[in-house]
Structure 1
Amino acid sequence: MILPHNLTSSSDEDYFGVESIPLTSTTCTEADNSEGKASYVPAHLLSELFAENITAKALRTAQTAIKALPDFFPEYVPQDVDHDGTYALREADFWTCGFFPGTLYTILERAIRFPQSLQLPPEINALQFREQLLTLCRIWAEPLYGMDKRTDTHDIGFIIMPALQMDWELFGNRRSLDSIAQAARSLATRYVPSARAIRSWDLLKKKDIEILDQQDNMIVIIDSMCNLDLMYYASYHMQEPALAEMATAHAETLLKSHLRPENMDSSHNSEFRYTGQWYSTCHVANIDPKSGTLKRRLTAQGYAHESNWARGQAWGILGYAQTYLSTKDHRFLEASCGLAEYFLYRLETAPACIIKGRYVPLWDFDAPIDDESNIIRDSSAGVIAANGMLIVSQALAGFNQGMLASRFRQAALVIVHDTLSFALSLEKASLVRASDGYISAEDSTPGATFEGLLKYGTANNNEQARKRYANHGLVYGDYYLVQFGNRLMRMGLV
């Protein structure tokens, strides 16, 4: 293995940093144990990831919300007792519009590549289901093609990639690849060479702060790391190296602007922990666009400017893991490892009142808990981080770092196992076939409706936010949950 010029490690183990502590629990199937550490969870215990309920809920929403296209897409499902359990829809230009079409395509991938994973009732023909689902996928993806020229958002990767990447890879649809390429070029217009970064937001307007001047301010958020995959993908497919160069420069800049070094807790004896540098993240950095100098770190969705917003940490884990896959630059793998280890540390050292669902993150790791009966979580943060940890585990296994790879793989499984146990909606759905062969879905228990898969998501609980909402299903939480199941299948773990 060729090491970066500034490293002198004689072995991969020295380079990545790992405590060689043997796994002590190989039979426990619970996500928590008495010491608050992650136990061993076999992947086959995550059967709810592949249950009929997953497919049925996605199909039902696709059929019932289709009348809102092309103007509105699913965003969140309120958990209020007086709500009917259906998706609240958001205008099509909102950053979350690509996730529901992406969920449909992820289930379609299962139907095509992993048909054994679909738990279809015997009366439903698998080929007919696949054809009906493909039709819905195409209908839901259609409005996305018209968004690839948008230069007003850095979230174009979230909008375009979940559905159109899968459409290209499953069917070789050149229209989808061309749209991905155009979207990457649109994102490139937001790159500021003097700052070596992509502008995330044009302005920031909250109750307590406003940043409106782009001449002296450049707002960059940690979420942006997960939009870089768009640029790398387009760069390599279309042979446009400048796109990848911009993405790498952006990732390098955020190593300094958004990652905050944290001291490793020597008393925290987690199995196989990563002993390199640990990091927390800030949500927002204001950078001088002329010099690239960091002016200020703050938050728009976390508890406080100095706190550790859980979903931001998760975006960092996944984003740097994906960036490593595209670049094979060890700095990015180290960053993802350090972010992941700190994420696990915060889960495992959560307040003592967090007994059930320990591995379902608090919405912000530093937010005070005023009422132990109403603890605010963010289930989406957990499943996003778990996807990143699976990628990290694969990368580490390639360096013969079996123990550290196993730690992150098992941690990902524990997070998702605990999330399914704690946050999976109890209101299930089932597939039904009409006499004419049309396949639809209905509540498994009549009148018990919740269109989301996971509960206890938190979009934004910052007290100064213009829209503050928590405790609901989130479309991206569901997308990354279904994606996690597909990653397990691609890795041969289920």
Structure 2
Amino acid sequence: MLNVKLIGYHMKFRINAVLFILLLCHVANAQKVDVKKAFASAGKQTDLLIRNVDSARLVKPQLVSPRTVEKGQFKMVGSKDWTSGFFPAELWYFYQFTKDEKWLKLARKYTNDIKEEQYNRGTHDLGFMIYCPFGNGYRLTRDTAYRAVIIQAARSLATRFNKTAGVLKSWDHNGDKWKYPVIIDNMMNLELLFEATKMTGDSSFYKIAVSHADHTLKNHFRPDFSSYHVIDYDTAQAGHVLQKVTAQGYANESAWARGQAWALYGYTMCFRETQNDRYLAQADGIAGFILNNKITPADGIPYWDYNDPQIPNASRDASAAAITASALYELSKYSRNGKQYKAAADHILSSLSKSYTSKIGGNYGFILEHSTGHRPAKSEIDVPINYADYYYLEALLRSK
């Protein structure tokens, strides 16, 4: 049974749900994406991407994964980069959709390049780096070697948990700025821990994930369900919050678009894994913030930050849109607002497929364009980027 606070929230959401009518005026004209055609086009691009990856590795074999195209230059990264797992994970999605052994062989080949990161205790991003490729690989093949990597990665991630603060530390850098930073992105890495408990029966992973989700729910969100990017904790004083700031958003009090997408996806996943109604209510609230926001253009692809004063002369973020669409498809299965969420996801996916895909043969083989990575650092602005492609393919699969 929902508590009084959640009942009040749902009453508020019914009122806000009227604003969905504005969205649905645009959604009503959206056509269903031809998933088979979209995958065929994406496959042609990815064939080109693989050729570019293999050529680049002849020169620098330590670089294993394609990340972006910036200033016309094809950018590869090593396995320690937080985005290294998305490219091999995409290949697993191609195999899932086509059942073509070609994609299976490629997925296995490039997934193996990230294997060593299972022992990496210096990052919170092991969910992205390990669970995206190895989790999909295990799901589709039941290869026990992949299972072992997932479990070890979860053990490595668990070392970053602080009992006093109740959360996993995100970053070890910039100690002059913060003491114990936790970013909203970290919600995405909890799936690795939930999976490890299912694989091993060790509930400690599950308990860490729930603690992190609970403290993030308590400290990361504003009354309108928008999220701060970085919460800094004092681990010596009962886990008190020291500051609420941003690193990649426009300002401390602004709503960084990809952060809102991470939050939506993260709490939807947490509800799936726990069946805790608080997480479902949180996901509903975040979805309401995203979908009711009048700043977002009619095509549903958000600006990189909802509060950038340069809007409409500001870059979009197709990666935030792809993450959001994928999350909405899943959330539509759980929420009483399911029809609205699915319609919104269809609309976003249609926009991405029609207006945000690279021309065949362009962008070195990346699928989507017009994403924003780190605008305050003047990095990866209006570019293709690998995690946009990964969540776009996932959204295509979930749309079926």
Of the three residues 8, 14, 19, the one matched with 1:18 is 14
- Matched position secondary structure for 2:384: strand
Cα distance in 2 for partners of 1:111, 1:22 equals 40
> Which residue is 2:193 aligned to?
231
Cα distance in 2 for partners of 1:20, 1:314 equals 19
Per-residue deviation at 1:105?
0.6
Tell me the matched-pair count.
395
Per-residue deviation at 1:16?
9.2
Per-residue deviation at 1:50?
2.7
User: Does the Cα contact within 8 Å between 1:200 and 1:219 map onto a contact in 2?
Assistant: yes
For 1:283, give the aligned amino acid.
H
Deviation by residue 1:424-458 (Cα, 9 ceiling, x = unmatched): 12x21xxxxxxxxxxxxxx3xxxx55421111100
Of the three residues 90, 93, 105, the one matched with 1:103 is 90
1:375 equivalent to 2:314? Answer: yes
> Which residue is 2:323 aligned to?
384
Structure-to-structure mapping, 1:64-213, within 5 angstroms: 64-66=52-54, 68=57, 69-78=61-70, 80=71, 83=72, 87-112=74-99, 130-204=100-174, 210-211=176-177
User: Does the Cα contact within 8 Å between 2:95 and 2:101 map onto a contact in 1?
Assistant: no
User: Does the Cα contact within 8 Å between 2:308 and 2:314 map onto a contact in 1?
Assistant: no
Cα distance in 1 for partners of 2:324, 2:134 equals 23
For 2:301, give the aligned amino acid.
V
> Which residue is 1:62 aligned to?
50
Per-residue deviation at 1:59?
2.4
Deviation by residue 1:93-116 (Cα, 9 ceiling, x = unmatched): 11000000010111111112xxxx
> Which residue is 1:469 aligned to?
380
For 1:296, give the aligned amino acid.
Q
> Which residue is 1:460 aligned to?
374
> Which residue is 2:41 aligned to?
53
Of the three residues 330, 335, 347, the one matched with 2:282 is 335
Of the three residues 242, 249, 260, the one matched with 2:204 is 242
- Matched position secondary structure for 2:231: strand
Per-residue deviation at 1:40?
2.6
Deviation by residue 1:448-481 (Cα, 9 ceiling, x = unmatched): 554211111000001xx3x633010010000000
Cα distance in 2 for partners of 1:63, 1:173 equals 27
- Matched position secondary structure for 2:304: coil
Cα distance in 1 for partners of 2:267, 2:26 equals 23
User: Does the Cα contact within 8 Å between 1:49 and 1:482 map onto a contact in 2?
Assistant: no
For 1:143, give the aligned amino acid.
D
> Which residue is 1:320 aligned to?
267
Per-residue deviation at 1:190?
0.2
> Which residue is 2:347 aligned to?
414
Per-residue deviation at 1:220?
0.2
> Which residue is 1:276 aligned to?
none
Cα distance in 2 for partners of 1:300, 1:24 equals 31
> Which residue is 1:305 aligned to?
252
Cα distance in 2 for partners of 1:221, 1:471 equals 23
Task: Name structure 2 gaps, 5 residues minimum.
Answer: none
Cα distance in 2 for partners of 1:473, 1:8 equals 39
Cα distance in 2 for partners of 1:211, 1:230 equals 28
Structure with the bigger percentage of helix? 2
Change (3 A) 1:14 1:53: closer
Of the three residues 362, 365, 379, the one matched with 2:306 is 365
Cα distance in 2 for partners of 1:131, 1:395 equals 34
- Matched position secondary structure for 1:204: coil
User: Looking at CA atoms only, which structure, 1 or 2, has the larger radius of gyration?
Assistant: 1
Name the stretch that deviates more: 357-366 or 251-260.
357-366
Change (3 A) 1:257 1:8: closer
Cα distance in 2 for partners of 1:329, 1:243 equals 17
User: Does the Cα contact within 8 Å between 1:36 and 1:349 map onto a contact in 2?
Assistant: no
Cα distance in 1 for partners of 2:275, 2:20 equals 32
Per-residue deviation at 1:389?
1.2
Per-residue deviation at 1:182?
0.6
Cα distance in 1 for partners of 2:20, 2:274 equals 35
Cα distance in 2 for partners of 1:22, 1:365 equals 21
For 1:364, give the aligned amino acid.
D
Per-residue deviation at 1:420?
2.3
